[in-house]
Amino acid sequence: MLPRFTLPMAAEAFLQHHWQKKPLVMPQAATGLESLSQAQLFALAQRHDVESRLITGRDEGPWTLQHGPFNTLPSAKAQDWTLLVQSVDYYLTHLSLLLDDFNFLPSWRHEDIMVSYAAKGGSVGPHFDRYDVFLIQAQGQREWQLGPLCNENTPRQSTEALDLIADMPIESTHLMNPGDVIYLPPGVAHWGVATSEDCITWSVGFRAPRLTDLLARLTDETLAENANTLYTDGEREHVATSGKLTTCDVAALKEQALSLLSKEAAERAFAELLTEPRQFPEVCETAVEAIKQAHPDAAMVRTGGVRMLCTQEGLWVNGILYPLDTHLISFATYLAQQRLYTTAQLDTYQCKESQALLEMWLEEGYFTLL
């Protein structure tokens, strides 16, 4: 069985009333969560190419943070510890298929799936995130306490290891059972504590690029195309004071500099940034039998953390542009909009060029045949 998520309302209603606005608790909105075992999670935490963390502590601390890999972990009977494994979908392809259930948002907004294992009492402390997240209870129980919106001025605990809120006000409490899901917008204070042993929670996080990063990429792209373009002022008038930078000069300099920005440059700069992967797995496992059992007609699957976006120039894959002729853009769009592909669907785009592209991308490891 593969993991699935079902939004319990129309996507339009969710986006209008909850997305980046207020939390939403969704009882029994997820299934197939046994597709990741505790043993698999612990095995990932032992790998040096996997980002993992171990957090111990409770209440006002003390709190400790360790970074993996971890060859040994505390006993499950030793309370108040949590293991966090980042980007599990990058390493286990069948888990990445869960992201297709969030396609009511553009795929470039998808970041990754983090999974936590907690002994009883385990927690990462009271905190807030700067991105949207869906918290899916997979095993055991966890109690979530939600608080107000926070920002950089919110009082913090005096701990160097973690960015934790001090004296978090509690506005609501929710006991989550396997299959329950809670959505949290950016900035909402939250504190989840495992109330049972062997508590496993999945966190589907969303990418929110820094605006300064977008600007930097746009600047880089613009410089590459216009490195030798100079300022001109052929209509210059006589100035009374030569040592002064006038308001008119500032406006002219700004206008000419900004005139270099183009829609095409922005598209290339942003597509490159938004398709850059978070991790670079040395090995990615594909549970072919599980995928085929759930989707008998599936012929091909996109590999784990491979990120794709289609633009008018072609297909961007993991920060690389593959330029395409116009008649292949619909094929590229089809590949970018989902992660699982059937023979019938692929056949509708069948041609000499599309077949050659698929063979190349299969060789690159972007896809796996089932």
Alpha helix segments (H runs only) across the chain: 11-17, 38-45, 88-91, 93-96, 211-225, 247-258, 263-274, 288-294, 329-336, 343-347, 352-364
Enumerate domains of the chain plus CATH numbers.
4-206 (2.60.120.650), 211-274 (no CATH), 296-369 (3.40.366.30)
* Inter-CA distances, 122 with 62, 96, 197, Å: 13, 26, 9
Residues of the chain above pLDDT 90, percent: 92
User: Once rounded to an integer, what is the mean pLDDT over residues 103-124?
Assistant: 97
Instruction: Tell me what pLDDT residue 343 has.
Output: 95
* Structure tokens belonging to residue 128: 């807030």
User: Once rounded to an integer, what is the mean pLDDT over residues 177-200?
Assistant: 97
Specify the higher pLDDT residue, 160 or 284.
284
Please state, as a whole number, how many other Cβ atoms lie within 10 Å of the Cβ of residue 42: 16
160 — pLDDT class (breaks 50, 70, 90): confident
* pLDDT at position 145 over 90: yes
Query: Burial letters for 288-308: b for 16+ Cβ neighbours within 10 Å, e otherwise?
Result: eebbeebbeebbbbbbbbbbb
75 — pLDDT class (breaks 50, 70, 90): confident
239 — pLDDT class (breaks 50, 70, 90): confident
Distance CA 65, CA 55 (A): 5
User: Once rounded to an integer, what is the mean pLDDT over residues 25-48?
Assistant: 97
Residues of the chain above pLDDT 70, percent: 100
Instruction: Tell me what pLDDT residue 281 has.
Output: 93
Three-state DSSP state, 12: helix
59 — pLDDT class (breaks 50, 70, 90): confident
Instruction: Tell me what pLDDT residue 77 has.
Output: 81
Confirm if 162 and 125 have CB atoms less than 8 A apart: yes
Distance CA 284, CA 318 (A): 15
Q: What is the mean pLDDT of the chain?
A: 95
Specify the pTM.
Answer: 0.94
Instruction: Tell me what pLDDT residue 287 has.
Output: 94
Distance CA 229, CA 252 (A): 15
Confirm if 86 and 112 have CB atoms less than 8 A apart: yes
pLDDT digits (tens, 9 = 90+) for 319-362: 999 999 999 999 999 999 999 999 999 999 999 999 999 999 99
* Structure tokens belonging to residue 25: 């608790």
226 — pLDDT class (breaks 50, 70, 90): confident
User: Once rounded to an integer, what is the mean pLDDT over residues 158-180?
Assistant: 94
* pLDDT at position 80 over 80: yes
